């Protein structure tokens, strides 16, 4: 693989990760419309995104590190944070 091809592939992975993060935040944001908001199961998120649960858990770990979601230690249940809402809205513009 050439250097240009490698750089292009890396860029695709970065864009894909950002897209996945935005999809997760969209799902968690929609959950806020429930009264009261409930924890959202990772399996439900993976199902809505047609994504493998193990892949999703890697995304969730990254997002928790960014402070945009809160998740339990086993990454089974998730909530969006205030920072996550702000980051999501910034990415929409």
1-32 pLDDT, tens per residue? Answer: 676 555 555 455 556 889 999 999 999 999 99
Contact (CB, 8 A) for 17 and 55: no
Confidence (pTM): 0.83
Q: What is the pLDDT of residue 12?
A: 52
User: Was domain 3-91 assigned CATH 1.10.10.10?
Assistant: yes
- The residue whose two tokens read 């990454």 is 75
Q: Measured at the alpha carbon of residue 23, what is the angle toward residues 80 and 26, in degrees to the nearest 5?
A: 45
The residue extents of the domains of the chain are 3-91
Collapsing DSSP to helix, strand or coil, 70 comes out as strand
27-63 pLDDT, tens per residue? Answer: 999 999 988 989 999 999 999 999 999 999 999 999 9
């Amino acid at each position: 693989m050439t250097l240009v091809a490698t750089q292009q592939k890396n860029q695709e992975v970065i864009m894909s990760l950002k897209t996945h993060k935005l999809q997760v935040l969209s799902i968690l944001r929609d959950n806020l419309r429930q009264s009261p908001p409930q924890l959202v199961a990772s399996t439900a998120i993976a199902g809505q995104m047609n994504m493998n649960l193990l892949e999703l858990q890697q995304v969730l770990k990254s997002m928790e590190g960014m402070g945009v979601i809160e998740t339990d230690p086993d990454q089974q249940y998730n909530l969006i944070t205030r920072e996550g809402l702000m980051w999501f809205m910034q990415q929409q513009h």
